[in-house]
Amino acid sequence: GTTICYAYMQSAGMVDDHEVKCFRYGR
C-alpha cells in the first residue's frame, strides 16, 4: 500500500537519491 511505497522510497533515498528521483519521475 502507500506505507510500503513510502518506506521503499525512503530506503532507496538512503541508498541512492538518484534512484528515488528516477522512480518518482518514472511514476
pLDDT at 17: 55
Collapsed DSSP state (helix, strand, coil) of residue 27: coil
pLDDT at 10: 73
pLDDT digits (tens, 9 = 90+) for 1-27: 677 777 777 776 665 555 555 556 555
DSSP single-letter state for residue 19: H
pLDDT at 7: 77
Distance separating alpha carbons of residues 3 and 15, to the nearest angstrom: 18
pTM of structure? 0.32
